[in-house]
């Protein structure tokens, strides 16, 4: 133990006494590492917020059925069970999926499309309420503005049909449970439970809707849905789901390609970054290694004196290793300082284009740790060569150096 | 040319032998010529003061380096070291054979002080730290004023906090002597410790050195080419003879004592 602590103390003193040389290596390291951290911070910040946006916008996980297909309830239920599916609701025929809405406070009567929703709908997630039953509705912001209503209000919904030669109209009191902001959906529309959509379709088709007391003929057999709304569990599931469904002959549309573009960009930029990082760190390690090797030759005599007084081979190897670890540590510290300074300026420059809390250039704590570990590893590897050289010095040779 | 001389001091018979060498050889070769140091027999008792006097190049440093375990003998019939009266002799030849460098380093650390012709100080350590180098490695206390006292004896107390670069050559030699003695080794080996000084300073420092060694009761081996004043100090001189082969390619020094 005395050996280790003495090796530590002496190499530290040597390092401090040669502060000019030590300092220039610290600066050289920071000059390589600092910009590298800024570069990675930019990559991480820019691509990271792009990926974040992708992940957080549920529309990117949407798998939309296209055209008119034929899906039955067992198929829908089977899909809902899949681990890569977060949410699925069947939709009824588009032509029968609309409704006239009116409110007491507005003189406008609007016709909105009805979108099926239900428990677990990722699009409405976070709004605090979902429509259920035949008397609840979620209005899009545009529709709510026209009707001049807010959540909690009750509006009138009506549908009309020609049945047995005469026009009929049914009215429903609908409670607006929540208003979906335009950022989520920017058309005049309403989200309703599948039950309500089916009732509307049945009514239009002249079928009886027992639950609402609407008269008509008995519905024939099993219901076939022309489409569905599906959300994959994660972004990564989208492409596979799309591929599988197309293979099954279903027509679907996703944003898989947009996702792929961002992901490719992320991957390629990461690759470019690593190439730069490896070249930079390797260059630094080489120059540090060469200088430590030269150092050992320069300090042959001192190292011999240390061997003479009884330092072990291992202690002698420790000298250049400890010194380059000091360099790595302080250089990393300085580089982190450079990063904080530069990233502050960059983020300030882009502040106008950024949302609150977003940054163009940022790193996570673990990135700093990785940078430190890589730097120390490079420094230790560089120093090993010098250390081995130092350990081979025969004391009697070194002592009598001219 | 020096020749073999009788022992100046009678050797007591009941002595513990700190060094016991038999048939130890070291050969050094450089550019076609070779030098060989041969030690048929060498016995140094604990507490003895030994002088090794010879002209430049006769092999003094070669012998001292082997005695300090920093130079490996080419051959050794026996090479035993017994620094503690109560312990068995240590087989140094076996350590060399097994490349136990760290073990040899430990022996040096504990039992040997080495003074070189010049320098041998660590430039980034203060005089105090240089003198405490071995003491610190041995985890000896540094609050007992031992270093200060030694520095006072050597007349360098006021330089304790300076760095070696700020000292004169003579002062540096005093520090080197101080470092070799500070950890109270069993033996001090000094390779021409005063050769780089003017004769007056050299004599003064040599006297001081021998005085200190006497006082601390440390065995000493000192190499020198200045015969005159060594003689006055009453050291036992090792006898040696140097021969050159007829073709001039091999020089051999034989040391006994
Ligand atoms: N590293 C070496 N390689 C080859 N030969 C060497 C080496 N060091 C010394 N020698 C040779 O060994 C011989 C003895 O050298 P050594 O250093 O022991 O002499 P010395 O008696 O200490 O001389 P000085 O009084 O000048 O210090 C010399 O002839 C020298 O040429
Ligand atoms: Mg010599």
| Residue A236, C-beta contacts closer than 8 angstroms, at least 6 positions apart | none
CB contact burial A58-90 (16+ within 10 A = b; e otherwise): bebbbbebeeebebeeebbeebeeeeebbbbbb
Q: Please give the distance, rounded to the nearest whole angstrom, from the Cα atom of residue B75 to the centre of ligand 2.
A: 21
How far does Cα A14 stand from its chain's mean position?
A: 48
Q: What is the Cα–Cα distance from A191 to A193, expressed in whole angstroms?
A: 7
pLDDT at B234: 80
Instruction: Pick the more confident residue, A334 or A68.
Output: A334
pLDDT at B2: 42
SS3 B21: strand
pLDDT digits (tens, 9 = 90+) for A37-63: 998 899 888 888 887 778 788 888 999
Contact assignment for B123 to A309 by CB distance below 8 Å: no
Instruction: Please report, in angstroms and rounded to a whole number, the separation of the first and last CA atoms in chain A.
Output: 33
- Is residue B3 very low, low, confident or very high in pLDDT (cuts 50, 70, 90)? very low
ipTM over 0.85: yes
| A303 contacts in chain B (CB < 8 Å) | none
Decide if pLDDT at A402 tops 70.
no
The burial class, CB within 10 Å (0-12 / 13-18 / 19+), for A140 is: buried
Assign A393 a pLDDT band (cuts: 50, 70, 90): confident
Q: Is the CB of B56 under 6 A from ligand 1?
A: yes
Report CB contact under 8 Å: B110, A310: yes
Cβ atoms within 10 Å of B197's Cβ, excluding its own:
18
The tally of CA atoms less than 13 A away on the side-chain side of residue A148 is 7
A305, A307, A401: best to mutate for the B interface, most B CBs within 10 A: A305
Residues of chain A with Cβ-Cβ distance to B179 below 8 Å are 309
- Asked whether B151 and B205 are in contact (CB, 8 A), the reply is no
**pLDDT band per the 50, 70, 90 thresholds, residue A333:** very high
Query: What is the distance in A from the centroid of ligand 1 to the CA of B25?
Result: 14
Nearest residue, CB atoms, A313 vs list B102, B129, B137 = B102
* Ligand 1 within 6 A of CB of B57: yes
Asked if the model's pLDDT at residue A145 lies above 60, the reply is yes
A164: pLDDT confidence band, cut at 50, 70 and 90?
confident
Q: Express the helix, strand and coil content of chain B in percent, nearest 5 each.
A: 35, 30, 40
Domain spans of chain B?
4-256
Residue B231 pLDDT > 90: no
Q: Which residues have CB under 8 Å from A144's CB, separation 6+?
A: A150, A176, A179
* Tokens linked to B164: 């070696």
CB contact under 8 A, A308 and B68: yes
Distance of alpha carbon A335 from alpha carbon A331, whole angstroms: 6
Task: Calculate mean pLDDT across residues B205-222.
Answer: 91
pLDDT value at residue B239 = 86
The pLDDT value given to residue A133: 85
Q: Which pLDDT does position B1 carry in this prediction?
A: 41
User: Tokens 């430590």 belong to which residue?
Assistant: A292
**Interval A168-183 mean pLDDT:** 90
**Nearest C-alpha neighbor of A381 from the set A306, A308, A307, A328:** A328
Give the span between the Cα atoms of A237 and A245, in whole angstroms: 12
- Ligand 2 centroid from CA A68, angstroms: 103
A89 near A229, Cβ under 8 Å?
Answer: yes
Show me where the domains of chain A are located: 2-55+261-400, 67-250
pLDDT band, very low/low/confident/very high, at B7 (cuts 50, 70, 90) = very low
Indicate whether A366 pLDDT > 70.
Answer: yes
pLDDT at B5 over 50: no
Q: Please tell me which residue, B186 or B257, carries the higher pLDDT value.
A: B186
Query: Cα separation of A156 and A103, whole Å?
Result: 6
* B252 compared with A126, residue with greater pLDDT: B252
Residue A394 above 70 pLDDT? yes
pLDDT for the residue B14: 62
Tell me how far the alpha carbon of residue B36 lies from the centroid of ligand 1, in angstroms. Answer: 10
* Of A13, A28, A11, nearest in space to A335 by CA: A28
Q: B141 φ, ψ to 5°? A: -65, 145
Q: Kindly report which listed range (A170-174, A386-390, B10-14, B99-103) carries the lowest average pLDDT score.
A: B10-14
A215's CB contacts (< 8 A; 6+ apart) are A208
pLDDT in tens, A305-323: 999 999 998 898 888 899 9
- Residues in B closer than 8 angstroms to A301, CB to CB, are 119
Q: Strands, E, within A3-144: which ranges? A: 62-65, 71-72, 85-91, 98-102, 109-117, 136-140
- Separation of alpha carbons B191 and A387, rounded Å: 29
Mean pLDDT score across all residues of chain A: 88
Per residue in A253-305, pLDDT (tens digit) is: 888 888 888 888 888 888 988 898 889 888 888 888 888 888 888 888 888 89
Q: Is B60 in the pocket of ligand 1 (CB under 6 A)?
A: yes
Predicted pLDDT at B165: 93
Is the confidence at residue A354, as pLDDT, over 80?
no
HSE-CB for A320 with a 13 A CA cutoff: 31
Which atom of ligand 1 is least distant from the CA of B58?
A: 21
Domain B4-256, CATH 2.30.40.10 — does that match? no
pLDDT at site B168: 92
* Average predicted confidence (pLDDT) for chain B: 88
Residue B145 scores a pLDDT above 60:
yes
Q: What distance in Å separates the CA atoms of residue B225 and residue B240, rounded to the nearest whole number?
A: 13
| DSSP β-bridge partners for residue A217 | A207
In this structure, are residues A303 and A316 in contact, taking their beta carbons and an 8 Å threshold?
A: yes
Of A169, A151, A171, A172, nearest to A160 by C-alpha is A169
Residue-wise pLDDT tens digits, B109-129 = 999 999 988 878 999 999 999
């Amino acid at each position: 133990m005395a050996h280790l602590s003495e090796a530590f103390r002496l190499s530290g003193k040597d390092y401090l006494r040669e502060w000019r040389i030590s300092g220039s290596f610290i600066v050289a390291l920071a000059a390589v590492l600092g910009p590298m951290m800024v570069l990675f911070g930019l990559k991480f910040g820019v691509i990271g917020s792009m990926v974040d946006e992708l992940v957080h916008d549920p529309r990117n996980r949407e798998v939309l059925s296209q055209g008119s297909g034929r899906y039955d309830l067992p198929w829908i239920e089977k899909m809902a069970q899949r681990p890569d599916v977060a949410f699925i609701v069947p939709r009824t025929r588009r032509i029968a999926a609309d409704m006239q809405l009116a409110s007491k406070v507005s003189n406008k009567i609007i016709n909105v499309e009805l979108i099926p929703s239900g428990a677990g709908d990722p699009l409405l997630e976070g709004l605090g309420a979902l429509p259920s039953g035949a008397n609840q509705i979620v209005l899009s912001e545009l529709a709510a503005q026209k009707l001049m209503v807010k959540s909690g209000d009750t509006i009138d919904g009506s549908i009309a049909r020609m049945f047995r030669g005469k026009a009929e109209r049914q009215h429903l009191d609908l409670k607006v449970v929540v208003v979906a902001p335009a950022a989520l959906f920017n058309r005049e529309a309403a989200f309703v439970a599948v039950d309500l959509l089916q009732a509307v379709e049945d009514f239009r088709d002249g079928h009886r809707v027992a639950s609402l007391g609407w008269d008509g003929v008995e519905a024939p057999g099993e219901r076939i849905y022309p489409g569905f709304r599906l959300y994959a569990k994660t972004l990564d599931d989208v492409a596979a789901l799309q591929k599988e469904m197309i293979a099954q002959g279903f027509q679907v549309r996703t944003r898989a390609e947009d996702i792929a573009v961002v992901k490719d960009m992320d991957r390629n930029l990461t690759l470019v970054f690593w190439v730069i990082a490896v070249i930079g760190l390797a260059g630094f390690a080489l120059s540090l290694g060469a200088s430590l090797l030269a150092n050992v030759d320069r300090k042959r005599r001192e190292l011999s004196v240390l061997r003479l007084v009884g330092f072990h081979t291992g202690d002698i190897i420790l000298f250049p290793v400890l010194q380059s670890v000091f360099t790595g540590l302080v250089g990393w510290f300085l580089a982190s300082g450079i990063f904080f300074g530069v990233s502050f300026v960059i983020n300030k420059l882009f502040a106008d284009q950024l949302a609150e809390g977003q940054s163009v250039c940022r790193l996570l704590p673990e990135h700093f740790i990785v940078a430190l570990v890589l730097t120390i590893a490079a420094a230790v590897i560089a120093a090993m060569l010098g250390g081995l050289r130092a350990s081979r010095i025969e004391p009697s040779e070194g002592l009598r150096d001219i | 040319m020096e020749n073999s001389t009788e022992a100046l001091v009678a050797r007591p018979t009941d002595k513990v032998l700190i060094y016991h060498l038999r048939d130890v050889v070291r050969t050094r070769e450089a550019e076609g010529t070779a030098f060989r140091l041969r030690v048929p027999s060498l016995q140094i008792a604990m507490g003895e003061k030994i002088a090794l006097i010879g002209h430049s190049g006769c092999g003094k440093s070669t012998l001292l380096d082997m005695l300090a375990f920093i130079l490996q003998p080419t051959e050794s019939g026996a090479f035993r070291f017994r620094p503690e009266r109560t312990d068995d002799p240590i087989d140094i030849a076996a350590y060399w054979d097994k490349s136990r460098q760290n073990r040899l380093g430990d022996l040096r650390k504990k039992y040997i002080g080495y003074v070189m012709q010049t320098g041998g100080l660590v430039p980034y350590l203060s005089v105090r730290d240089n003198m405490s180098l071995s003491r610190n490695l041995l985890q000896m206390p540094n609050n007992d004023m031992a270093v200060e006292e030694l520095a006072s004896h050597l007349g360098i107390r006021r330089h304790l906090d300076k760095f070696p670069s700020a000292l004169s050559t003579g002062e540096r030699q005093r520090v080197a002597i101080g470092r070799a003695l500070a950890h109270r080794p069993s033996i001090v080996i000094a390779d021409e410790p005063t050769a780089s000084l003017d004769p007056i300073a050299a004599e003064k420092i040599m006297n001081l050195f021998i005085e200190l060694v006497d006082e601390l009761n440390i065995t000493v081996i000192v190499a020198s080419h200045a015969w005159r004043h060594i003689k006055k100090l009453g050291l036992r001189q090792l006898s040696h003879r140097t021969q050159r082969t007829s073709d001039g390619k091999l020089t051999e020094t034989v040391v006994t004592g």
